[in-house]
Amino acid sequence: MINFDLLVAGCDTRCKHCYVNGGPLPRMKGDDAVLCIERLDAIAANLLDEAYFTLDHEPMGHPEIGRVIDAAADTKHIRYHHHGMTTGVGLMRRDDREAVLDRYLSHGFDSFGITIHGGEALHDEIVRRKGAFSASVAFGEFVKTRGAELEVSLMVNRFFPEQREEISATLDRLNPDFVYIALPIFTPHKNGMDYEPYRMSIRDAEVLGEWFRALRKDDAELIERARESSVGFAAEKLQNGRGLKILFSEPQGEKYLAVHPDCLLYMGNSGAETDCLGDLRDLDPEAAAKRISEAPDNRDYGAFYDQSVLPETERLIEALKTLPQETVYGDEPSVIYRGLAALNVPTRILDLRSEQQRQ
Ligand code: SF4
């Protein structure tokens, strides 16, 4: 499976947990976006693996999103994956929001999602934009009135126990078709540490048990998942013989690439780019497909470390023991990456953020 992440419009927020380098970026020109989709289709025609692409970070903020969506729906060899996640800011500030939404719906892209980080003040603090909570909720209400499906991703942090009622009131107001419970993973790129003060612990998951049940979630399973994603559990597992090098040699099975607003094509998901393959508009599709096919898979961030720089497992266990043992990181590999960050183990990820994003 090969995935291309096409960044056409930057993002209206600068979330502290963002692992795809969201934030304000220059927009891709409408003509370029359509041409890039055509070029991706031509590359996919030369690939043996199944290929698909997404439009990220906040495509609904692009002035010409209508024709970009038309082009995305009109490919022959590459499939457009509409994930529908948005901050809502891009669409809700547009005068033509009804026409834009209708364009999505006309192609059958009728499911959309927003992420909620807590009550209004906490949400805006985490996504680093005042008014973002109101825009997300207004977006949710808007798409529901137009007959679209709404999913809400609750990104659980350590303030959820004290903000339960406020969050429940938001859910009552939105009446979403589906609610996800999500935890941001730790990634070894430059934004990685910003979310640390918000991470939940196993204890928070236990306190939220009854509340999870009210959301029709299996609280026992969620608490167990939290335990299995904690620092202490990962250290214990490493101690019991799961060597670091074995973990990093496991097959990845998927390849991620990113296309930036300047049309440069990179190996690696956005935020975790390693090599630039050139300007997508000028690439020979056959040669590009060959190069992509020959590149190693990079599904998880383990692909961005050189095996030769990995520390001995014992050193990593010592580093993990210096971290709060009950902290939950979303999955076991992300705990390992957090430990490697504590040891300052270098990655091959390029830092492509603009000055504005860095501040
Ligand atoms: S997490 Fe998503 S919404 Fe937030 S800055 Fe990153 S891309 Fe944008």
pLDDT digits (tens, 9 = 90+) for 135-176: 999 999 999 999 999 999 999 999 999 999 999 999 999 999
Measure 236 CA to ligand 1 centroid, in angstroms: 33
CA distances from 173 to 74, 134, 166, 170 (A): 36, 12, 11, 5
Q: Is the CB of 336 under 6 A from ligand 1?
A: no
Q: Quick one: angle between helices 313-321 and 332-342, nearest 10? A: 90
8 A C-beta contact, residue 208 and residue 165: no
With the most atoms of ligand 1 within 8 angstroms of its CB, the residue from 127, 128, 136, 185 to mutate is: 127
Using an 8 Å Cβ cutoff, are 106 and 70 in contact? no
Q: How far is the CA of 125 from the centre of ligand 1 (A)?
A: 13
Q: Which atom of ligand 1 is nearest to the CA of 87?
A: 3
Q: Is 200 in the pocket of ligand 1 (CB under 6 A)?
A: no
Angstrom distances, CA of residue 34 to CA of 64, 80, 108, 289? 10, 13, 19, 19
Ligand 1 pocket residue status of 152, Cβ below 6 Å = no
Four-point Cα dihedral 133, 134, 136, 137, nearest 10: 120
More confident residue, 28 or 243: 28
Kindly indicate the confidence band of residue 358, based on its pLDDT and cuts at 50, 70 and 90.
low
What lies within 8 Å, CB to CB, of 344 at 6+ separation is: none
Q: What is the pTM of this model?
A: 0.95
Average pLDDT over residues 350-357: 73
- Residue 272 Cα to ligand 1 middle (Å): 14
Question: Average model confidence (pLDDT) for the chain?
Answer: 94
Q: How far is the CA of 7 from the centre of ligand 1 (A)?
A: 12
pLDDT given at position 359: 59
- Mean of pLDDT values over 290-318: 93
Burial of 193 from C-beta contacts in 10 A (0-12 / 13-18 / 19+): exposed
Characterize 24-45 residue by residue with b for buried, 16 or more Cβ atoms within 10 angstroms of its Cβ, and e for exposed.
Answer: bbebbbbebbbbbbbbbbbbbe
Chain centroid, CA 275 distance in Å: 20
Lowest-pLDDT range of 92-101, 245-254, 287-296, 304-313: 245-254
* Average pLDDT rounded to a whole number, residues 35-54: 97
pLDDT tens, residue by residue, 75-106: 999 999 999 999 999 999 999 999 999 999 99
Q: Dihedral through CA 165, CA 14, CA 84, CA 138, nearest 10?
A: 50
In angstroms, the CA 124 to CA 132 distance is 6
14 lines ligand 1 (CB under 6 A): yes
Q: Which atom of ligand 1 is nearest to the CA of 12?
A: 8
First to last CA, the chain: 35
Confirm or reject: Cβ of 57 under 6 Å from ligand 1.
yes
Chain CA centroid to CA 356, Å: 20
Question: What's the rounded Cα separation, in Å, for the pair 138 and 133?
Answer: 9
Rounded distance between C-alpha atoms, residue 166 and residue 116, angstroms:
11
Coil, helix or strand at residue 311: coil
Read off the pLDDT band of 67 (50, 70, 90): very high
Output the six-digit token pair for 215: 């959301």
Radius of gyration of the chain (CA): 21
- Give, using CA atoms, the residue closest to atom 8 of ligand 1: 22
Is residue 94 within 8 A of residue 68, CB to CB? The reply is: no
Cα of 19 to ligand 1 centre, how many Å? 8
- Ligand 1 contact, 20 CB (< 6 A): yes
Q: 241-253, pLDDT tens digit by residue? A: 767 877 888 888 9
Does ligand 1 lie within 6 Å of residue 89's CB atom?
Answer: no
Question: Which atom of ligand 1 is found nearest the CA of 127?
Answer: 4
Band (317; pLDDT cuts 50, 70, 90):
very high
Does 13 contact ligand 1 (Cβ within 6 A)?
Answer: yes
Q: CA nearest 13: which of 94, 130, 163, 145?
A: 130
Rounded to whole angstroms, the Cα distance separating 336 from 47 reads 33
167 lines ligand 1 (CB under 6 A): no
Q: Ligand 1: does its nearest atom lie under 6 Å from the Cβ of 87? A: yes
Whats the size of the chain, residue-wise? 359
Question: Percent of the chain having pLDDT more than 90?
Answer: 84
Among protein residues, the one whose CA lies closest to atom 4 of ligand 1 = 15
Place of tokens 């209508």: 66
The token pair that represents 137 in the structure block: 């909720």
Q: Tell me, what's the pLDDT at 356?
A: 62
Q: Please report the pLDDT score of residue 21 as a whole number.
A: 86
Ranges assigned E (strand) in the chain: 2-7, 51-56, 79-80, 111-116, 149-155, 178-182, 255-259, 264-267, 276-279
Residue 11 Cβ inside 6 Å of ligand 1? The answer reads yes
**For residue 43, what pLDDT band results from cuts at 50, 70 and 90?**
very high
> For ligand 1, what atom is nearest to the CA of residue 14?
5
Average pLDDT, integer, range 319-328: 96
Q: Which atom of ligand 1 is nearest to the CA of 17?
A: 1
- Decide whether any atom of ligand 1 lies within 6 Å of the 88 Cβ: no
Q: At what angle are helices 285-294 and 30-45 packed, to 10 degrees?
A: 70
